[in-house]
Structure 1
Amino acid sequence: MGMTLVRSLFLIIHQKMSTSSSAILTPVGVRGMNVLDRAKFLRNIKIPVLKVADEKLSKITPICKQYFLKLENFKPVQSVSGEKLKCIHMNPEKIGAWTDLSEIDRKSLKEHSVNEDNFIMKDIELSYENWSYGTIFKAVLPENEDIVSGFTQVGHIIHLNLKDHLLQYRPLIGQVLVNKIKSCRTVVNKSSTIDNTYRNFNMEVIAGEENFLVTVKENLCNFTFDFSKVYWNSRLGQEHERILNFLKPGDVLFDVFCGVGPFAIPAVKKKCKVYANDLNPDSFKWLNHNAKTNKLNMALFKSYNLDGKDFILTVFKEYITNYCLGKEKLEKGAKIHVTMNLPAIAVEFLKCYKGLIEDEELLEKFDCEIIVYVYCFAAGTDVLAVAKSMVIDNIGCDISDNIIDIFDVRNVSPKKEMIRVGFKLGKEVIFSAKDCVSEPPKKKLCVDN
C-alpha cells in the first residue's frame, strides 16, 4: 500500500468540518444521516459550459484546464450528441459568467474563435457517485467537529478511531470508505488503546468483509499477517527505513519486540545476522511465515517467542558471553544493534542490561560496539530531555556520554511524542554490579496509539 493514499486521507482527519449549505458542489439535506441513503445525494445544479468545435479542442483544452469541473465519475469534456462539438464543463464555484475567465484566457480563446457566444449554463444532475468521501463527510457529519483520528490503511483494511460524537455514524462512514476507495474492502473502528499483552487492538468491523488477513509491502519486503491479532503501524515505515540504513552487511541485530518483522526481515536481506523475538504467538507465527516468503538466508535468521526480559537475559546474554569467549565472531568493523520498539514500556526493560554478565574474567575480552535503539512516549515542553531522563533512570546509571542520538519519530497526540533514544551499551553497564532497581514488567501490558 503506497503512502500517497495514507497522506491524502490525513488531509481530512484533523480539519474541522464546517461547510456552508449554499456551496454549489456540496450535497444538501443530508446532515445527520446515520445510514447511507444514496438517493438523497441527488442534486441538480447549473454548470458553466463552453461549446467548441471538435477540431479546436486540442488548442482550447490547455487554456481551460484550470477551470475544469472535477468530480468523481464525471468527464469534464463530453461530446454533444449528433454534433461535431465538445462541451467543456467548468467549476461553478470558480466560474459563473464569461467574464469570470481571466482576461488573458478570454483573449487566448478569442484567438481560436471562441467567445461569449460559446459560453452557456447547463443543468446537470449529480449523484452519490460524483461526490468524494471528503465532500460526503463534510455534508453529513456534525459541523465544526473533527471527523476522526488515526485514519490510515493497511492492505485492504482501513482502520480508524472514531470519537464518541461520531460513533452513531459508524455504518455510513464505513460504507462510504468501502465505496469510494477501490483498494478498501474492510473498514474497522478500533480502540485507541492497546489493552492486552500482545499489542493487538480491539476492533469492530463497521463495513465490508470480515477479513483481517493482509499483505503489505515495506522496504522491498512483503509482510503478511492477521491485522486483528498483531501490531502493525503503517506510519512507522520511514522509521523502519532509518534504522535499516544504520545497519551494514555483517552487523548483528537483536530485535527484542520484533512484531511480524519490519526491522528483522529487511535486515537479513542486508546480510545482517538477526535474532528476532516477540511474545505474541501470532506475531511469532507471521514473523516466521514472512521469513520464508521473503526467501531469507535462514542461516542468518533465528526467531524466538519469549518475553522481552527473558530474551535479553538468555539469548542476548549468551551471545555476548560467547563473543567474549571467542565462540561468536564479528566481522571486522561490524556492530551489534538492539532495537526495542515497544514505546509504552520498552525503557523499563533497560534494567535487564545492568549487570547482565557477572563473570569479571570476560570484562577484558569485551571489545564489541553495541548500539541500542529504545523507543518511548514522552510529553512536556522538552520531550527529548524527558526521553533522555527516562532512559537514564531505567538503565540505572548516567550514560549521557554514550547517548548518540535522540530523535522525535512522530507525533502521537497533541500532548505525546514517540521518541527514539540511541546509545552505546558499554561494559560499564553490562558488567556493573546489580542494584535494587525494580524488575521490568513480565508481561507487555501497555497503552499505545
Structure 2
Amino acid sequence: MTPVLPVALLPIGVRGMKVLNRQKFLRNVVVPILKVSDEKVSKVTPICKNYLLKLDSFKPVQTLKPNSENSHKIIHLNPEKISQWMDFQDSEREILQKCGITEKDFDSKEIQITYENFKYDAIFKAVLPENEDTVSGFSQIGHIIHLNLRDHLLDYKQLIGEVLIDKIKTCSTVVNKNNIIDNTYRNFSMEIIAGEENYIVSVKENNCNFRFDFSKVYWNPRLSKEHERILEYLKPGDVLFDVFCGVGPFSIPAAKRKCKVFANDLNPDSFTWLKFNAKQNKVDTKLFKSYNMDGKDFICKTFKDFVIELCKGEVQKEFKIHVTMNLPAMAVEFLKHFKGLLEDKSLMEKFHYEIIVYVYCFVIGDDPYKNAEELVKENIGCQIDNLHIFYVRNVSPKKEMMRVKFNLTKSIIFGEIQELECEPPQKKICIEKDITD
C-alpha cells in the first residue's frame, strides 16, 4: 500500500493548476527529528519505523554533519504522527531510553520539499477539483499508461499526463480513451496527452512476450490472472479453439504448453500481431494454426471440420477440447452456432470427446451469476446442465465481467436437446469465486 502523505506536507497554492509548474510545489516545512549517534542508529531506527517521514527522493535517516569525527544521524519523523516526545508510546520511550535516547535528543528541523518529493496521487489531490472523482486508477501496457478521464478532468489532462510520466519511470506515453469499445475490432480511439507518439508496446505475460500496436488491437492487463486461470485447465496434448484470440494471450502460452491450438481473430491487425508473437515466442508451427475469420465462420467451418474428422478417425485419443470465447460484449451471441452444428447423426456413436466452452459476458444487475446463466441459456437456445459461473472483474458500477463454463455435449452439438421453451430439467449451477483477485 502506498503511504499516505501527511496533510501538513501536501502541496499548497496549486489548486486548479492546468499547466504544470514544478516550482510551485516548493515549500519549507518544520518536521520533528531525533538526533542519534552513528552507533545507535541500527537499534533506534526499527523503533521509529512507523513514524518515519516517507517522501519520494528523500532519505528519512540522514547524516547531521558529514565528514565530522563525531558524526550523528538525524531521523526525520512524520509530523502527523509525532509532534512531541510524549507522543511515543510508553514502551517505545522506554526502549529508546535504554538506547541512551532521551527527550533532549528530540528536536525539530526545517526542510525544503520540492516537486520531486511528491507522489503523483498527492499532486493530483492538491491540484484537481475538490469533492470530485480524481485519477483513481489506470492501466499500464508496456510504456503506455491508459486513462479514461471523466469530463471534469479533461481540462487537466495535459498536467495529469506530464505528472504520470515524471513519476512512473517505466512510462513514456500517456493516452486517454475517447469512447467506449463498440466497434467491430474492440479497439477504441485515443489521444496522446503526454509523451511520445509511440503505440508499439512490449508486454510479458505467462512467460511469453507479446508485442503489438495498442492503438489498433485490444489488450487489458487486468485480465492477466484470468488468462493464467484458463491455462491451468489445459494439459499437454489438449486442443484449444480460441474464437476471439486477439494477439494471443490464451493461444500462445497454450501452444507453449504443448497444446494443439487453433487461434482466430477478425481484426486483421490482431491477426498480424498474433502471427508475429507466435514466431517471437518460437511456437511449434505443428501445434499452432492462426485464422483471420468471423467467429461464426470459425465455429461453423474450422471447429466443425475438426470435430467431424475426429469422429471419422479410427483411433480415439484421450484429450480434452477447450473453446475460449473472450469477447464479453457479444460472445454469447455466437453460442447458437454450436447447437445442431453436426447434422450427420451417424457420427454420434463415435463422438466421445469432452468439449469445454469458456464464454465471457458482461452483465448488469444485482445478481450477476443468475444474469450470466440466463444470458448464456437464452443465446444457445437450450437447457444446459452443470454450468460453472465465475466472477472475473468489475467493469463499472453494477456491470460485471463473468465467465461461464459448460460442456458442449453430444446432445447439444447434434441438436438433440430440450429446447429452452420446455420445462427445464433439474440442473446444477456451480458458482466460483476468487476472493484474492
Pairwise same-fold verdict (TM > 0.5): yes
In the TM superposition, residue 365 of structure 1 has moved relative to its aligned partner by 1.8
Task: Choose which of 228, 252, 255 in structure 1 pairs with 2:215.
Answer: 228
Structure 1 residue 397 corresponds to structure 2 residue 382: yes
Per-residue CA deviations over 1:206-263 (Å, capped at 9, x if unaligned) read 1111111111111111111111111001111111111111111111000000001111
Per-residue CA deviations over 1:276-316 (Å, capped at 9, x if unaligned) read 00001111111111111111111000000001011111100
Distance 1:155 1:256, change over 3 A: same
In the TM superposition, residue 185 of structure 1 has moved relative to its aligned partner by 0.9
User: For 1:379 and 1:102, how far apart are their aligned partners in 2?
Assistant: 50
Task: Choose which of 389, 401, 409 in structure 2 pairs with 1:426.
Answer: 409
Matched residue of 1:391: which SS? helix
Name the residue aligned to 1:338.
323
Distance 1:150 1:378, change over 3 A: farther
In the TM superposition, residue 433 of structure 1 has moved relative to its aligned partner by 7.5
Structure 1 residue 184 corresponds to structure 2 residue 179: no
Structure 1 residue 200 corresponds to structure 2 residue 187: yes
- Give the aligned CA root-mean-square deviation in angstroms: 2.2
Matched residue of 2:198: which SS? coil
Distance 1:436 1:88, change over 3 A: closer
Aligned 8 A contact 1:392 1:398 in 2: yes
Q: Which residue type is aligned with residue 243 of structure 2?
A: V
Superposed structure 1 runs of 4+ greater than 3 Å apart: 433-437
Name the residue aligned to 2:358.
373
Report how many residues are paired: 417
Matched residue of 1:309: which SS? helix
Q: Which residue type is aligned with residue 143 of structure 1?
A: E
In the TM superposition, residue 393 of structure 1 has moved relative to its aligned partner by 1.2
Structure 1 residue 45 corresponds to structure 2 residue 29: yes
Task: Choose which of 68, 80, 90 in structure 1 pairs with 2:52.
Answer: 68
In the TM superposition, residue 434 of structure 1 has moved relative to its aligned partner by 12
Q: TM-score, normalized by length of structure 2?
A: 0.91
User: For 2:256 and 2:317, how far apart are their aligned partners in 1?
Assistant: 17
Name the residue aligned to 2:232.
245
Q: Percent identity?
A: 63
Q: 1:4-403, aligned counterparts within 5 Å?
A: 23-81=7-65, 83=68, 84-148=71-135, 151-191=138-178, 193-326=180-313, 331-332=317-318, 334-399=319-384, 401=385, 403=386
Per-residue CA deviations over 1:386-426 (Å, capped at 9, x if unaligned) read 11111111111112x2x341111111111111111111112
User: For 1:409 and 1:342, how far apart are their aligned partners in 2?
Assistant: 13
Q: TM-score, normalized by length of structure 1?
A: 0.89
| Worse overlay, 318-327 or 340-349 | 318-327
Matched residue of 1:261: which SS? coil
Which structure has more relative contact order (CA 8 Å, sep 6+)? It is 1
In the TM superposition, residue 427 of structure 1 has moved relative to its aligned partner by 2.2
Q: Which residue type is aligned with residue 176 of structure 2?
A: N
| Worse overlay, 258-267 or 210-219 | 210-219
Distance 1:53 1:88, change over 3 A: same
Aligned 8 A contact 1:250 1:331 in 2: no
Aligned 8 A contact 1:254 1:276 in 2: yes
